Structure 1
Amino acid sequence: MELKTISTARTARYISLGEPGADIQHVWFCLHGESQPLADFAAQLVNFDTPERLLVLPEALSRYALPAGPTETPVTVATWFAPDSLLPDLADLTTYLDELAAEVLAQCPANVPVTVLGYGSGAAAACRWLAGGRTNYDRLLLYAPVFPSSIDRRATLVGLPERPVTLISTTTDAFTSEAAGVGLLQDLQDVGLSAQHRYVSEGPLTLAALGTVGK
């Protein structure tokens, strides 16, 4: 028995907070965490939802339903990396996110500033996308980042363009020690990227907490 692969078109989903257009001054691509419903992620970003800012929340391609009780409505969630298909998943997510970004940005003013925010495992997905893709961006925000052990974090960071990176950690102990960010901050600095580390409380994020007031 031999496991084989085939490439095929499929339909991806995303949430758009705002609509592309001539009045958009900032575009954010925001990648959710592991098994995090898009609606829950959107609730964390409610403070960024303003008329001049477009937030695009792509859903990972590997969708599945969380277990639910007999009277509960199943919730669909997704993962960026399946444990037994890492390399194909990385290639697929780069193609997917590049195509989504190109479609969105084509409807916005030329050279609109682009921010990429990755949360949890979405931070690893964001880094792999930007290191291997063709999407131009201005800032990278990594919130409680978690890199799967199967991904070479240092090799991924080496491939990132020289853009400012902000590492964001929570002030609570709700996340793993990796998400605290100390090791990642050192790796970012070691590969020559300009990185800063900020701390936030749980709940909806604010621009002030991220050090990005007005952006």
Structure 2
Amino acid sequence: MTTHSIETLRTARYLTLGGPPPEDLTADALGGVREVWLACHGYGQSAARWARHFEPLASAERLIVVPEALSKFYLDDRYQRVGASWMTRENRESEVADQIRYLDAVMTEACGRAGVDLASVRLVGFGFSQGTATIMRWLEQSALVAQRPRRANRVILWGGRVPTDLDLGAQRPWLEQADLHIIAGDRDAVATPGRVIAQETALREAGIPYQTITFSGEHRLNARVLAGLGAL
């Protein structure tokens, strides 16, 4: 038995919040976006439902882009609820490469529609749970991001961590400029207090500055904390 791989086109979806209104894409409206967030959801989530958390943060000057992971599956035995996953350990290298190409395509189109120059706009990378590894791999490997003076102006890892295969020492030059935030609830079953401490230790040993924010809650977004991040 021989295993083969092919590349194939497929259709994916993403959502945007904020930026110039679709009915007002005039020369005056374009170019008004000052900040773009790329926000990657967690395992088993739907981008459409998850994106609602970001509605209070969106504005004419802040464009929030929420892509949906490429692998979908049913979450219940009645085949009603659908979620998505960024990747599994199977065929890992190809899945990571597909992710990077997909997110590059999403950001190219979303920023183009809004008249945003991705090379110069303030960029915030936001990942929740499984999405933390996704956003970090994109920032590390994206050809688009590599063209920027700073890969990211801020990186927010919520309920997750830097992927263990990322060499913090090698990535220090851009990470130390990325205004890194580590966020978790005090009852988070995924980003447990012990795992947060281990992440902090690894970052300190690599000489990467970070800020940790904790809140009373479980493995989910918190409106108050999210609003505070939007005000920074």
Output the TM-score relative to the length of structure 1: 0.83
Matching residue's letter, 2:5: T
Question: Mapping of 1:160-175 within 5 angstroms?
Answer: 161-162=174-175, 163-175=178-190
> How many Å separate the matches in 2 of 1:108 and 1:178?
42
| Cα pair distance change 1:179/1:130, threshold 3 Å | farther
> Pick from 102, 107, 110: which aligns with 1:104?
110
> How many Å separate the matches in 2 of 1:28 and 1:4?
36
**Gapped runs of 5+ residues in structure 1?**
none
Name the SS of the counterpart of 1:3 in structure 2. Answer: coil
> Pick from 85, 100, 106: which aligns with 1:79?
85
CA contact (8 A) 2:127 2:133 kept: yes
**Equivalence for 2:27:** none
Matching residue's letter, 1:75: R
CA contact (8 A) 2:39 2:127 kept: yes
**Equivalence for 1:213:** 231
**Equivalence for 2:12:** 12
Does 1:152 pair with 2:164?
Answer: yes
> How many Å separate the matches in 1 of 2:228 and 2:98?
33
> How many Å separate the matches in 2 of 1:83 and 1:137?
27
**Equivalence for 1:183:** 198
CA contact (8 A) 2:35 2:62 kept: yes
**Gapped runs of 5+ residues in structure 2?**
21-29, 146-150
> How many Å separate the matches in 2 of 1:14 and 1:156?
30
Question: Mapping of 1:16-165 within 5 angstroms?
Answer: 16-19=16-19, 21-69=30-78, 74-106=80-112, 107-110=114-117, 111-134=120-143, 135=145, 136-146=151-161, 152-155=164-167, 158-159=170-171, 161-162=174-175, 163-165=178-180
CA contact (8 A) 1:170 1:180 kept: no
Name the SS of the counterpart of 1:159 in structure 2. Answer: helix
> How many Å separate the matches in 1 of 2:197 and 2:136?
17
1:5-30 Cα shifts (integer Å, max 9, x gaps): 10112212111112453222211000
Does 1:2 pair with 2:2?
Answer: yes
| Cα pair distance change 1:124/1:62, threshold 3 Å | same
Relative contact order: is structure 1 or structure 2 higher (C-alpha 8 Å, sep ≥ 6)? 1
CA contact (8 A) 2:56 2:227 kept: no
> How many Å separate the matches in 1 of 2:52 and 2:122?
23
> How many Å separate the matches in 1 of 2:62 and 2:128?
19
The farther-off stretch of 18-27 and 56-65 is 18-27
> How much is the aligned-residue C-alpha RMSD, in angstroms?
2.5
Matching residue's letter, 1:204: A
CA contact (8 A) 1:98 1:133 kept: yes
Aligned residues: 207
> How many Å separate the matches in 1 of 2:16 and 2:196?
29
CA contact (8 A) 2:186 2:193 kept: no
Identity of aligned residues (%): 27
| Cα pair distance change 1:35/1:178, threshold 3 Å | farther
Greater helix share, 1 or 2? 2
Measured after TM superposition, the shift of residue 195 of structure 1 is: 1.2
> How many Å separate the matches in 2 of 1:39 and 1:99?
19
CA contact (8 A) 1:131 1:156 kept: no
